[in-house]
Amino acid sequence: MNVIEANALGKRYGSTWALRECTLAIPDGHVAALVGPNGAGKTTLLNLAVGLTDPTAGTVAVLGGTRAGSAAALDGIAFVAQDAPLYKNLSVVDMLHLTCNLNRHFDQRYAEARLGELAIPLKRKAGKLSGGQQAQLALTLALARRPRLLVLDEPMAMLDPLARHDFMAGVMTAMAEEGVSVVLSSHVLAELERVADYLIVLSGGSVQMAGEVDDLLARHRVLTGPAAEADRFAERLGVVHAWRGEAQAHLLIRTNGSTDPVPPGWETHPVSLEELTLAYLREPGARGAARPARGRDAELSEVTK
């Protein structure tokens, strides 16, 4: 079953396409990471999937073919946005009661037990909680709906490293114990590398790459060798992106497997999820011919600042 399935999906605001010709299928049972620069269409895709907006073109279905935004879809999906939408003047217990009254399914006992384990006071106003506690409250409200799919749009953007770790620990526990599928949009590549087993890269409103992380990593590698030979190899090796200094070049290439020959004088290295993601973000469409650069490490550090 696919938890999100889009076919030629597009969304236009005025004359600007936020998402265009998006076709993908995200299978269930995964933590699927949705990655891309600001303006790539990540939030638009998630809003379409949870039914917060209607597509301009194409179709999107969830949970095995259910129309996005339908009552059946809404019952099976929980959504946590970046700003952890809470009524700041309501107490935590009032937020529980409100969410319970607004949803057909809500496990009040589970919510209270989880908040108790996190030592979040039920009588405190939501606006008086720390950023990490607010994020955990929003996550608790979502999980208490007992969803089949949990959609998270930059939920850790404003959290410190410890709060991010605790938040993701809660997500992973829910996945392990309840069988919840997760689609997570985030800029924190290091965090995604730790938890994600499925990856979707968006850039310019289109899907650049999608698949299971282990398979994607196995089908790419980095070749290091003389810079003077980089252009010649780029013509025939399926280069996604190249980092080239004066002496050495680093080519991230697509590969058919471990039997692919290594050119004489070159070395091969496994690629990390961060390197792979950054390469596809730099080269929309993965055309990626070798080009001059200030050095591989300099480019990586510039993007991750």
Nearest to 2 by CA among 24, 23, 22, 25: 25
SS3 289: coil
For residue 299, pLDDT over 60 is answered with no
Nearest to 110 by CA among 130, 96, 129: 96
For residue 246, pLDDT over 90 is answered with no
- Using an 8 Å Cβ cutoff, are 6 and 45 in contact? yes
For residue 284, pLDDT over 90 is answered with no
For residue 287, pLDDT over 60 is answered with no
Q: Which domains does the chain have, with CATH numbers?
A: 2-214 (3.40.50.300), 219-303 (no CATH)
Q: How many CB atoms lie within 10 A of CB 220?
A: 20
Work out the average pLDDT over 41-68. Answer: 94
Please list, in sequence order, all residues whose beta carbon lies within 8 angstroms of the beta carbon of residue 260, skipping any fewer than 6 positions away: none
* Residue found under tokens 């469409």: 285
Say which range, 20-29, 95-104, 186-195, 203-212, has the weakest mean pLDDT: 186-195
> How confident is the model at residue 260, as a pLDDT?
66
Q: What pTM, to 2 d.p., does this model score? A: 0.84
Measured between alpha carbons, how far is 305 from 258 in angstroms, rounded to an integer? 33
Q: Angle 273-282/296-303 helices, nearest 10 degrees?
A: 80
